[in-house]
Amino acid sequence: MPKVNVYENIDNVEREAKKDLIDRHSPFITVDGDAKKGEMLSVNVKMGNEYTHPDDFDHYIESITLFNGDTKLAMTTFVPGTLGNEKSHAEVTFNIRPMGKKLNLVAHGYCTKHGIWESTAVAVEVAQ
């Protein structure tokens, strides 16, 4: 099984190079609006917050996957050049339909050079 890197708050990191590495590889989840059972919910996942990621032939974000706990909800893949071969934030909005009482959203981003990176979990209460 590949190693899964987890986000650590870059405010606690002293070296700029390590801040850059952690931030640009970490997925950040944003939920748009309130979750209601059976209704579509927009969940945005953006790779990196302060630092952008390369989009080179041999070093790019290949995929972003969204989970609810252990259940895979959605996944998107990218090819080199999707972001115009410019440093940028790979970003996707997934539209999901929650059916339970709560969501425990976690995203994984896969960098072709630095492996899998996991977001901080985001708990979402679902109105019945």
pLDDT in the model for residue 76: 98
pLDDT in the model for residue 63: 98
pLDDT in the model for residue 8: 78
d(Cα 15, Cα 89) in Å, to the nearest integer?
Answer: 22
pLDDT in the model for residue 10: 76
pLDDT in the model for residue 87: 94
Q: What residues in the chain have per-residue pLDDT under 50?
A: none
The full set of domain ranges for the chain reads: 4-127
CA 94 to chain centroid, in Å, comes to 11
Pairing of strands 71-77, 122-127: unpaired
4-127: CATH number: 2.60.40.730
What pTM was computed for the model? 0.92
Nearest to 111 by CA among 6, 19, 24: 24
